[in-house]
Amino acid sequence: MTATDNSNRGFILWLTGLSGAGKSTLARTLARALARELEAVVLEDEHDESVETRVLARAAASAGKLAINATISPLREARARARAEAASAGLAFVEVYLEAAPETLVARDPHGDYQRAFDSDSDSDIAGVTAAYEPPRCPEIRLRSDLESVGQSTRIVLRQLERRGLIGFGARERRRAA
């Protein structure tokens, strides 16, 4: 495959949301659900604004895989940059915002990070509490992980990807033509 050969094109699914919103769980569930159709690479990086994460996502998608980013990605500008870089590489980019009520996020936090962030003596940086988090203004898909089961959220994402022609009957051919 040459650098200009687009015959095996994948796409990027960029999950964003606060810690505890369910990004990693959804990413792994989607990867399993699509395993027969499309190889998936799940990217989970504690350095949310990492250039490396964007490069790895583009490389995986360019190689015909589904790149699922499951990091917090707190800044709109960084997510816009990832989208623009995907577009310039001719790759589809779908932003998925996972939202949950604060009490749900705290309840899902097994390490007590949120509680430490609420402690006035803490120097923890927790997106949405002591560090910035800018919710997407117009994500392609918006999920309420505190109101929907993982199965329901997975079905919503799969339906939207199918509607966009990224998965399902004839999807590989459509991605090749892009």
What residues act catalytically? 73
Q: Are strands 92-99 and 66-69 parallel, antiparallel or unpaired?
A: unpaired
Residue located via tokens 């250039």: 51
Contact between residue 129 and residue 63 where contact means Cβ atoms under 8 Å apart: no
